[in-house]
Structure 1
Amino acid sequence: MRKWLPTLLIVSLTALFLGVYVGSVNISPSDITASIIYGIKSALLNSPNPGEKPHYFVIVWQLRLPRVLLAYLVGLSLASAGVASQALFRNPLADPYIIGVSAGAGIGAALAAIYAPAHMGAFALVSALLSVFIVYTVSKVDGKVPVDTLLLAGIAYGFLASAVTWYLIISQGERAHVTWMWLMGTFNGSDWGDVGEVFIVSLLGVGFLIWKWRELNLILLGEESIALGLDLHLYRKLFVGVIALLTAFAVSTAGIIGFIGLVSPHVMRLLLGPNHRELTPASALFGGVLLVIADLLARTLAKPTELPVGIITALMGAPFFLYLLMKHKRGELYS
């Protein structure tokens, strides 16, 4: 077992614990442990009363723990999608939102806020997947999808979708604040149902990317990879689909959260190198840690007000993006 894996697992567990421990109500580690054990027993025994309920059970098991786990899973999904995006587009500045997924999800969220507020996540998910289909169809040339065309189509569609989204938000009047908070990213109100959905998708999507690490390495070669036996056009479709699925479920549950898919892969690439055999799982774990920390800061920096987590990730990621852009201009990043 490589040294980085146990290190990242320990860091992940530490971040998860801090996410549950820190909050407006001070809860001791023993109370947290007791509440989690009680919750697990309740779930396994399918019994609402497996013993005496701990005093802080509701806060730990029903409020903080699902929120923290969802943040970790969303970060894991976005970071994995970021690794795949940078390989697919052979662009070190690419992230999961480059093919219009997040902007498309924003239209769904804005429509849901007007017509079906209780189903905002479902609307966002359907809209995100539909956006990917539109971008992919527009990009197709003679049955193939050139990367450059897909990239430009995604950017153009993103601008269009953002304009439509903000028009819908402005037209909502007093209800605009709710949609605005969601679009900026938030884990407020997360429940175990959200955790279960994202867990299944992240397990399948991230597992696929880890399994296909060789293909991710080869796809960086572009057309040259065909000579090495890679069905380039097939794997482009597969990777676009996985990126879209991971990002769409993340956006549908937590809103638009940027830069995790950019920062995490680059930090791990600096530490571990470009081989996707190690880069993909390490970036996924580190992305989870980053988003748990960002959510913790969003909850605590401006108490009692909660900041959108997207603001925190932007403050963390924007300077890093500018740093990468300067290195890219000097030819110090791969292309």
Structure 2
Amino acid sequence: MSAGRLLSVLLLLQSRGRMSARAIAEELGVSVRTAYRDVERLQGAGVPVCAEPGRGGGYRLLDGYRTRLTGMSEGEARALLFAGLPGAAADLGLAAEVTAARLKLLAALPAGLRDEAVRTAAVFHVDAPGWYREPDRTPHLPVFVDATLTRRVVEARYRRWRAPQEVSRRLRPYGLVLKSGVWYVVAATEGGTAATYRVSQVLDAVPAEERFEPPRDFDLAAYWAAYLEEFQARRYTGTATLRLSPRGRRRLPDNVAPEVVRAVDATATAVGGDGWVEAVVPTESTAHACGELLRLGADVEVVAPAELRRAMAETVGTLARAYGLPGSA
């Protein structure tokens, strides 16, 4: 049972007055039977929900009953968006506001719903960063949060991968994205189109007095979806033909990108009777592919292209010489 959905039913009845179970179900995207159960749970939690039978009837709150979310500041209301993401809230500088908003929200709930909300919160935890790496350090993230909300230009110094590595930009931040524990700011320069900047690569950020208006048709979610699609197209510039042992294929998800795993599943054909398969996979660059495939050791063989096969052989030969193996001179 979702405590959040029960609160939604309560607020629906409070804001709209009388509603049928079918109307509640349609509004929340659940079955009518679930809507009936939710109303019963509200009644069991002490909320005075009255049932009015007959044509035009439905459920309504007892006259004069209201749940109040009082004394909530703008920052606390904003923080409610991140109440389920404490790490993200802390990154954004909203940790204190999230705590205060949560306490006020719990205080405003009827006792039954409050207990259920506390139980629900106790059994879910979100840890956004991926395995095997430290979270990004983003000391300038709060600057971009404020600038995004107040539509203020930011004077930023940014470190990028190509030369010159350090550049200065006057950014107009349109929005922020948290992807796999990494924060990105989507921003435009004066007269430019929106671009993506990794916040941990910002060396300095100072808000300016200048204000801006984002394009009226800008949609952050749509922009990000298009950006990811373009990124994948730019990321994979070639292909490689591989042979994989059964063990190598099992180890793929832990060592290569999901796109490579899907390509193996889609193109794998048996070679010999020992379970080895041959498949065609996308590759970024020779050096990158070599580094990833070496993780699979003897469970992978590069068939083509010749450049990647040669890079693998040279790396293995260098390792053999480093360890003084016979015949590796």
Tell me the TM-score range normalised by the shorter chain: under 0.3
> Normalising by structure 2, what TM-score?
0.20
Structure number with greater CO (CA < 8 Å, separation at least 6) is 1
Q: Which has the higher helix share?
A: 1
Q: Which has the higher strand share?
A: 2
Structure with max Cα Rg: 2
